[in-house]
Chain A
Amino acid sequence: MNKTSLLEVSDFELRLPQRWATPAILKDIHFEVKSGESLAIVGESGSGKSMLCRSLLGLWPEDAQVEGRIVYQMPGIKVDNILNFTEKEMEKVRGRQIGFLFQESMASLNPVLRCGTQILDIFPPHVRRQRKEARTRALQLLHLSGLEDPSKVYRSYPHELSGGMAQRVALALALAGSPSLLIADEPFSALDIITTNQIIRTLVKLTKERQMTVVLVLHNLQLAAANSDWMIVMYAGRIMEQGKTADLFDKPSHPYSQALLSIADGLEGDKLPDGIPGEIPSIEALPSGCPFHPRCRYAQPKCAELEPADQAAVHGGRIRCHYPLW
């Protein structure tokens, strides 16, 4: 494992038993997150982004069959494959070292506890015991998360907050354990453009200041481009392309990445761009060969017969395509 690596995922596969078969929800997942780097995972809804994020914390469904390796290299976590961890060891993975920001912040807050109490709960016992200090620290976190009146929010219940405020409280909660890694699963999808941009600015500022590593799941490519160093493009539970964000935006080599980018660019213009024809296939009814081939404008007969393997891309990343666009 590289010295600067914080997280390494290799050969990861997750299968979920359905009525007739046990299809792979995530297949052949390989990637690495380096310390201090920010990684964006993009793709259409149903491409497996959220399942991948949850898998990083071992939060897969109970009946799932998992294989492969997920290894963290951070203080307090055993440097070993988390798939072999006991429940006690998993608690450390899900503990203070890794912060998680969910899509529905309101659902991740406890409705019967004041926001302040929820933040205090995350602090270690020795901090919590010094009540005055703990309160100041919680207020500081709320302020850092961009809340204008931290003491009012500290006393508020979640139902008294707007969506944007709740998301900021969730950010303060995620940061309360001073994590080395923050995983944010589509944290802005239900927020308006102004609130989204304000929160993402706060998030990027804080992560840079604290030298935190971030894994961001986004469906807005503009946001991903502006706020990540490395990008993963997912489709049907597979990583179709990954590389440095700048390179991927400059020269997308996979037809799917290219289609996503041209849509994002097209929405900026005056004419409605053409979408990707068809819908993302359900995991139970994946087409043969490359799962993207029925929607791909460059598909050849080989694409329907043989699933492409993960290979090195010209831009220095990885790609899964028989006929890359370079």
Chain B
Amino acid sequence: MKAKLVEIRDLTIRYRPKDGPGFRKRSVFEAVRAVSFEIFKGETLALVGESGSGKTSVAMALLGFTEPAQGSIFYDAMDIRSLAGSQMQKYRRSVQPVFQDSANTLNPRMTVGAMMEDSLWPLHDRVSRRKRIAELFDAVGLDDRIYRRYSHQLSGGQKQRVALARALAPRPELLVLDEPFSAQDASIQINLIQLLRNIKTTFGCSYLLISHDLHLVKFLADRIAIMKSGEIVETGNCIDIFLRPVHPYTQLLLKRKATEFPEST
């Protein structure tokens, strides 16, 4: 059996709305409720659910951007809350995010090359940095000519590839892909799936793939966890989820035609 890379146990995340002018006082909102799952080394786990189901909150907690109210997150059998100093730095390098809107994650005032060099800061020698950038560009299918370009000079697909190359720069073990297919047309979605498959073969990293489209996720995921209203309602391997969905919500997500959906949930 493969070794566990990430283990999330009883994760609960609560948000307290800000007080002050313009914000009405409300009760605390529980976005994620007692969520548990694990990601094995080299595995792609897809977290699927509708908007607002808590998928991104789980990812944010895993990346250390959100403090969980309860539960623990283990990375390589170490509780991430106990990490400090160089261990925390190593963790941050090992778990890299690729956000939905890759265009907004690129610095508009820096060239692609400068951004890439920034993410390769542990390499002090410029020649090795350049060599590594060439390797990364090659892995994500980017032309060397974009090295001197700014983000506004790139197409949507190129921006996403730059974001991926930058995430791969510190040789991560886990990539957290937050809705990479959202707002993309089918042709770009296919290219991206092919690219993510190639990256996994080349770099051997694991993926936590967050998406709301079960039908796209099937081309990448080994296992699928279905989230609804902050809870995981069903987990299983990809084939089981498609052939034998148990939870009614999973069955609903598998429908394709508009008429098969209820008018409201």
Contact = CB atoms under 8 A, between A and B. Distances in A.
A45 interface: yes
Contacts of B262: 198
B190 A198 contact: no
B186 A146 contact: no
Contact of B253 (A193, A223, A226): A193
Given A44-B185, A223-B258, A263 B253 contact: no
Contacts of B190: 263, 266-267, 272-275
A204 B263 CA distance: 12
Contacts of A274: 190
A260 B187 contact: yes
A157 B18 CA distance: 14
B212 A193 contact: yes
Contact of B155 (A197, A221, A222, A279): A279
A192 B226 CA distance: 13
Contacts of A226: 257-259
B201 to A, nearest CB: 14
A287 interface: no
Interface stretch (B65-73, B164-172, B213-221): B213-221
Interface string B148-181: 0000000111000000000000000000000000
B49 to A, nearest CB: 8
Interface string B67-106: 0000000000000000000000000000000000000000
Contacts, number: 106
Contact of B256 (A259, A268, A282): A268
Where chain A touches its partner, the secondary structure class is loop
A197 B265 CA distance: 11
Interface string B43-63: 000000111100000000000
A296 interface: no
A191 interface: yes
A194 B182 contact: no
Given A193-B212, A222-B256, A275-B194, A163 B185 contact: no
A227 B258 contact: yes
A263 B186 contact: yes
Interface in A196-252: 197-198, 200-202, 204, 219-223, 226-227
A99 interface: no
B1 interface: no
A45 B188 contact: yes
Contact of B213 (A193, A197, A202): A193
A116 interface: no
Interface of B: 22, 24, 49-52, 155-157, 182-191, 193-194, 212-216, 218-219, 252-253, 256-265
9 contacts: A44-B185, A45-B184, A189-B182, A192-B213, A193-B212, A193-B214, A198-B264, A268-B215, A270-B218
Given A45-B185, A164-B50, A221-B186, 13 more contacts: A162-B51, A192-B49, A192-B50, A194-B50, A194-B261, A198-B263, A226-B258, A263-B186, A263-B190, A267-B216, A272-B194, A276-B187, A280-B155
Nearest 10 CB-CB pairings of A with B: A192-B212, A275-B190, A197-B261, A219-B185, A192-B50, A197-B258, A189-B183, A263-B186, A44-B185, A162-B52
